[in-house]
């Protein structure tokens, strides 16, 4: 996927349309944000649109997170968002307002009865820093089913652990 941002005028709130999201992830698509009066222009180099699974087959497999070195009983967890959408082998998590922005490779967690379990590692972030949507990649759709993930499920971070990395806006502005 090639993404070139020429000029972006940030709207007050970005609503994610699942079909648009899938199109943005298409490896054959090129999204070019033009001048503010022209909006976004989508150019597709091929009439064949591969599925999301086909797009990420060349990526290294997602590591097994079942043996993380974290004490789930003593660790502090922060409710940071909810699962917004599940698209093939990708789960999107919408952050709650006023939560810190997490960087790539941060780990997110979900509740499992009385404890937490790893959801996955942040693979990509879309949207503005003030209202990010985190993308969690899985190897197969079965991995998502095994975790019993559903839209609206609460997602947590471990803010004081080695598994959480933050985006500092001041550093981005440099």
Q: Domain limits of the chain?
A: 2-50, 78-172
pLDDT of residue 57: 66
SS3 of the chain: the string is CEEEECCCCCCCCCCCCHHHHHHHHCCCEEEEECCCCCCEEEEECCCCCCCHHHHHCCCCCCCCCCCCCCCCCCCCCEEEEEEEEEECCEEEEEECCCCCCECCCCEEEEEECCEEEEEEEEEEEECCCCCCEEEEECCCHHHHHHCCCCCCCEEEECCCCCCCCECCHHHHCC
The closest alpha carbon to 116, from 155, 161, 59, 88, belongs to: 155
**31 vs 64: which has the higher pLDDT:** 64
CATH (one of 3.10.180.10, 4.10.1240.10, 2.60.40.10, 2.40.10.230) for 78-172: 2.40.10.230
pLDDT of residue 94: 98
Report pLDDT digits (tens) over 76-126.
999 999 999 999 999 999 999 989 999 999 999 999 888 899 999 999 999
pLDDT of residue 79: 96
**170 vs 95: which has the higher pLDDT:** 95
Please state, rounded to an integer, the average pLDDT across all residues of the chain: 76
pLDDT of residue 59: 82
pLDDT of residue 42: 44
């Amino acid at each position: 996927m090639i993404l070139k941002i020429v000029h972006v005028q940030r709207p007050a709130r970005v609503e994610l349309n699942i079909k648009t999201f899938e199109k943005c992830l298409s490896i054959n698509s090129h999204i070019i944000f033009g001048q503010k009066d022209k909006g976004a222009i989508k150019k597709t180099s091929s009439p064949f649109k591969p599925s999301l699974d086909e797009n990420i087959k060349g990526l290294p497999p997602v590591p097994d997170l079942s043996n993380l070195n974290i004490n789930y009983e003593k660790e502090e967890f922060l409710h940071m968002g909810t699962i917004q959408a599940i698209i093939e082998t990708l789960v999107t998590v919408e952050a709650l307002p006023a939560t810190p922005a997490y960087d790539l490779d941060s780990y997110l967690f979900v509740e499992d009865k009385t404890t937490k379990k790893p959801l996955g590692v942040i693979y990509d972030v879309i949207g503005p820093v003030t209202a990010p949507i985190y993308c969690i990649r899985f190897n197969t759709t079965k991995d998502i089913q095994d975790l019993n993930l559903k839209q609206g499920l609460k997602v947590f971070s471990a803010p004081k652990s080695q598994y959480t990395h933050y985006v500092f806006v001041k550093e981005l502005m440099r």
